[in-house]
Structure 1
Amino acid sequence: MSGPLELWAGPECTVNRVGDQFHDQTVLSGFHQRLDDLDRLAALGVRRIRFPLLWERTAPDDPQHCDWRWADERLQRLRALGVRPVLGLLHHGSGPRYTDLTDAQFPAKLARYAAAAAARYPDADAWTPVNEPLTTARFSGLYGHWYPHGRGDRAFVRTLLNQVLGTVEAMAAIREVNPQAQLVQTEDLGFVTPATPALAYQADFENLRRWLGLDLLTGRVTPQHPMWDYLRSAGATADELLRLADRPCPPDIVGINSYVTSERFLDDRLALYPEHLWGGNGRHRYVDVETARVQGAHLGGFRTRLCEACERYGLPVAITEAHLGATREEQLRWLWQAWRAAEGLREEGRDVRAVTVWAAFGTFDWDSLVTRMQGHYEPGLWDVSASPPRPTALAHLAARLARGEAPDTPVADAPGWWQRELRILYPCHGELEALAVCGQPILITGATGTLGCAFARLCEQRGLAYHLLSRAEMDVADAESVEAALARWRPWAVVNTAGYVRLDEAEDDPRCWRENVDGPAVLARACARHGVRLLGFSSDQVFDGTKAAPYLESDAPAPLNAYGRSKLAAEEAMLSAAPDALVVRTAAFFGPWDRYNFVTLALDALRRGETVTAAEDQVVSPTYVPDLVNASLDLLIDRERGIWHLAQREAVSWAQLARLAARAAGLDPALIRGVHGSTLGLRAARPAYAALASERAQLMPRLEDALARYVREAQAEPARPARSLPQATEAVAA
């Protein structure tokens, strides 16, 4: 082992097949189109890239016709950048249409493609012919999720053996061209824990099975191997197993793909779980859930998986995937913990080569194991909902790690959700081990408001230290009060949700200017002096409604009312005093935790059989409060600045919003009466069209999705007394 721990990276590049549909992650993320993504990765200090030279993409229809143009251009660019590739040939795929994982000729066909690839790129020194062969065999041959949709031990064993045999033959073909070529073999090594002794046999079996791919490659599967009889009973021949044992192809680097969800817990105490989780193996009924959600003891995590592999094989190891589909600070914590584990083991003398930031440009639809194309996106080092891709805080952290520097974000050192008490979703098994939230806090103003309470609630869930402040604890318009609060709590950021929101009364109430303009200005100046990040909120009311399309951040404001003028003045004051401030324009709140919002009260009225009257001629972009808060916190952690528009993507009238909400809740929208806004007796002028969209990035989900989640969340909240319906054009931002 020589040199420092390396930073590697890779774009999520799965090309899996479901039925006759091929799903290509590089197309979904845009990596397929953007050559300059390689420059982005190189600029972080990435030493190697797991590069998708995928069989399905290069020779999709005819094995004799390989189109190398895409790879040629990119591998030439990598050479110029000084970044070395690890060439992957199959990534959770079943191969092109002319083969599949059960095809007896699959290994030979893969080897022929590998030979052609090696001839094309003879200087490539590291290869992964098949990514995660055992995991792919489980999803394709055991569970039936992916093509060829096998379900059972025989299909599992055949798909696994074909991938392992294909790896051996592919590496032999590659080494005919480059005898020094290295095999970087990746696998997910998630551990299985039983709740009771009755399930120990099943956990033992799964914990042996997780090594099978690597054991076969390293020649360990002989008649003495504990899985020999299982393999033989499921269709493996003695000849093919002994051939692998006699001609081992051990990896040069064992790559561990590490995910918190891969650690599984088997529990036969069914009464502790909802019925939809009940399953079994034909011998026992049990549930199979994430270990972190039920086991009191902490997960072994990166260190344990690395040590296991080192001790079992005595080979160099690397973390070849480290990704978490979560909020930004949890992604930071996952990467930082991976890096610290690798560095710690290197100090103990273990040969740990690299940590790979996976899903450099995010992943699509892995929440359904890529079985449904619903557009569910999880950002990575970059967020591709922006064009060009927007670097996240994860990219900033990765660059620091590559330079040998510690994180400079205050949220990375706190415990991840998998280490905190809230991880437990079912009755805890064993004594609970939990770490407390720690670190510099966020100060949140507006303790009595919808938005302030929502920020506090979600900071609690996300493990972000915070203080929710009343006016008595910090009056944002009083410079001395602000200085005292900053000195007392020493925050890294302030989220200002305090403000005057009565749009009609704002026309002649001087408190509007004090709360909405003087306060943010005072706060911005203080934050700038102390180097504290500031997040403030503005409104769609800064626009006059004459545009025929949703307003973008660069559109010129022209407010029609006093409230809108105060919000525009606040934007200018904040960005003038603190140029790195983040200012979010939003509109038309609805959410599950505060009953006093238009959607909630409209649905309450419909349930009572009352008519709901709402403006049909005033168009807004409704905003689901949990989505707004989560997106705002992500942007704050990403160190974004300037004006951002955050609202759900659709433009609807208030009456249309009520109808959509009624349908989502299973109510009859016939009682909703759309009227002209002028009949509602409102004092302040409103823009007829105030829909918002973003030219910076599309971070907010669809309205239909938000309403569905709202209905579920609202049903889980305790009932509260009914209140009168607010005017359907009320100001709701901050």
Structure 2
Amino acid sequence: MRIVVTGKTGQLVRSLQERAAASDAQIIALGRPELDLGTADADLGLIEAAQPDLIVSAAAYTAVDKAEDEPDAAFAINTEGPRALAALAGRLAVPLIQISTDYVFDGSKPTPWVETDKPGPIGVYGASKLAGEEAVLAASPDNIVIRVGWVYSPFGGNFAKTMLRLAGDRDTLRVVADQVGGPSSALDLADGVLTVARNVLAAPERRELRGVFHMGAGGEGSWADFAEEIFGWLEQQTGRRVGVERITTDQYPTRARRPANSRLESTKLAEVHGFRMPPWRASVAPVLQRLVDTDFQHLKASRAS
């Protein structure tokens, strides 16, 4: 199973490479500078030359706040990039999996979002990702959209890494408590994406395997809950104690609005593809351990001191 994934350094790309190493999948990661989907003349011939069985569109403009001031750049990468990939996938007669986001919703629903809920993004980033979804789905009924949210991993920049970095010199952190979602390990997401890819390629006649799916971690929590889980683990492992001051979104203003409810109901994914993400708290410790072992070894000295 040869899979071309757009992007080289993203959390999901690197997680796919790691998970595929122990499976029958071969990941070919293509990204900047060789493949820049933010330009109209991106060399898509690189993808064709790789002879993929399936393409995963994972490269994205993810700077949520910056997107408000750079809408053209966000739409170029998040909409026009997937549109071009979908056209290429059609010519190659291979499926495309588009990785999307919980930000396509406005966050106003009191219960978890399901695939049939009407999107309503409240910022440029979400709008550009929704337009990318629509372009991919319109291009071919063979394509798939997978929405994810609150991604963290041992790779790249993410909330877990930020919390560990700040824990090095702060005793208390103010963290938003009125935005709710499901923190999702990119390693778990990679397992899910590989499962979907394998299912689609094994049974091309099963139309229900295509379309839109939510891939969210089990359970729910706020950013403050996530921070407390991180710091609870950190104290247990190193003795370093960091408190969390729970605040509201209004107390932490940002350039772009965030959905208050980012919970993604993933029952459809479990029923159709037989994959269910683990409970979010179960996946935090393994990622934190890797981060402390590689990037934050100085935190280990806390117990000794």
User: TM-score range with shorter-chain normalisation?
Assistant: 0.7 to 0.9
Alpha-carbon shift at residue 480 of structure 1 (Å): 5.7
| Gap runs ≥5 in structure 2 | 201-208, 271-275, 300-305
Corresponding position of 1:649 = 218
Please state if 1:493 is matched with 2:54.
yes
Q: Secondary structure in 2 aligned to 1:672?
A: strand
Q: Secondary structure in 2 aligned to 1:696?
A: helix
Matches within 5 A, 1:587-626: 587-594=149-156, 596-626=157-187
Count of aligned residue pairs for this structure pair:
282
Structure (1 or 2) with the greater helix fraction: 2
Please state if 1:511 is matched with 2:88.
no
Give, in whole Å, the separation in 2 of the partners of 1:540 and 1:638.
Answer: 24
Please state if 1:706 is matched with 2:283.
yes
Alpha-carbon shift at residue 558 of structure 1 (Å): 0.9
Give, in whole Å, the separation in 1 of the partners of 2:241 and 2:269.
Answer: 33
Corresponding position of 1:683 = 255
Alpha-carbon shift at residue 593 of structure 1 (Å): 3.1
Give, in whole Å, the separation in 2 of the partners of 1:668 and 1:719.
Answer: 13
Checking the alignment, whether the CA contact within 8 Å between 1:477 and 1:523 is kept in structure 2 is no
Q: Secondary structure in 2 aligned to 1:638?
A: helix
Alpha-carbon shift at residue 718 of structure 1 (Å): 5.3
Corresponding position of 2:273 = none
Please state if 1:693 is matched with 2:270.
no
Give, in whole Å, the separation in 2 of the partners of 1:676 and 1:652.
Answer: 14
Alpha-carbon shift at residue 513 of structure 1 (Å): 0.5
Q: Secondary structure in 2 aligned to 1:644?
A: strand
* Residue 585 to residue 572, structure 1, CA distance change in 2 (3 Å): same
* Residue 508 to residue 443, structure 1, CA distance change in 2 (3 Å): same
Give, in whole Å, the separation in 1 of the partners of 2:285 and 2:48.
Answer: 43
Give, in whole Å, the separation in 2 of the partners of 1:548 and 1:608.
Answer: 37
Corresponding position of 1:308 = none
Corresponding position of 2:90 = 528
Checking the alignment, whether the CA contact within 8 Å between 1:559 and 1:565 is kept in structure 2 is yes
Corresponding position of 2:229 = 660
* Residue 524 to residue 670, structure 1, CA distance change in 2 (3 Å): same
Give, in whole Å, the separation in 1 of the partners of 2:25 and 2:269.
Answer: 24
Give, in whole Å, the separation in 1 of the partners of 2:89 and 2:38.
Answer: 13
Alpha-carbon shift at residue 474 of structure 1 (Å): 2.4
Corresponding position of 1:476 = 37
Checking the alignment, whether the CA contact within 8 Å between 1:649 and 1:703 is kept in structure 2 is yes
Checking the alignment, whether the CA contact within 8 Å between 2:10 and 2:155 is kept in structure 1 is no
Checking the alignment, whether the CA contact within 8 Å between 2:89 and 2:96 is kept in structure 1 is yes
Give, in whole Å, the separation in 2 of the partners of 1:530 and 1:718.
Answer: 41
Deviations 1:609-664 (A, max 9, x none): 44222111111211111000111111111113211111211221101111122223
**Aligned partner (choices 192, 196, 199) of residue 635 of structure 1:** 196
* Residue 668 to residue 553, structure 1, CA distance change in 2 (3 Å): farther
Checking the alignment, whether the CA contact within 8 Å between 2:164 and 2:296 is kept in structure 1 is no
Corresponding position of 1:542 = 104
TM-score by length of 2: 0.85
Give, in whole Å, the separation in 2 of the partners of 1:480 and 1:670.
Answer: 49
Checking the alignment, whether the CA contact within 8 Å between 1:606 and 1:671 is kept in structure 2 is no
CA RMSD across the alignment: 2.3
Give, in whole Å, the separation in 2 of the partners of 1:504 and 1:711.
Answer: 26
Computing the radius of gyration from Cα coordinates, the structure with the larger value is 1
Q: Secondary structure in 2 aligned to 1:613?
A: strand
Matches within 5 A, 1:3-152: none
TM-score by length of 1: 0.37
Corresponding position of 2:125 = 563
Give, in whole Å, the separation in 2 of the partners of 1:716 and 1:642.
Answer: 39
Alpha-carbon shift at residue 482 of structure 1 (Å): 4.7
* Residue 721 to residue 452, structure 1, CA distance change in 2 (3 Å): farther
| Gap runs ≥5 in structure 1 | 1-410, 412-440, 723-734
Q: Secondary structure in 1 aligned to 2:96?
A: strand
Please state if 1:462 is matched with 2:34.
no
Amino acid at match of 2:280: L
Corresponding position of 1:585 = 147
Runs (4+) of structure 1 moved beyond 6 Å? none
Give, in whole Å, the separation in 2 of the partners of 1:543 and 1:455.
Answer: 26
Deviations 1:117-145 (A, max 9, x none): xxxxxxxxxxxxxxxxxxxxxxxxxxxxx
Give, in whole Å, the separation in 2 of the partners of 1:671 and 1:468.
Answer: 39
Give, in whole Å, the separation in 2 of the partners of 1:567 and 1:717.
Answer: 32
Checking the alignment, whether the CA contact within 8 Å between 1:613 and 1:672 is kept in structure 2 is yes
Give, in whole Å, the separation in 2 of the partners of 1:471 and 1:581.
Answer: 24
Checking the alignment, whether the CA contact within 8 Å between 1:482 and 1:523 is kept in structure 2 is no
Identity %: 29
Checking the alignment, whether the CA contact within 8 Å between 1:534 and 1:581 is kept in structure 2 is yes
Please state if 1:449 is matched with 2:10.
yes
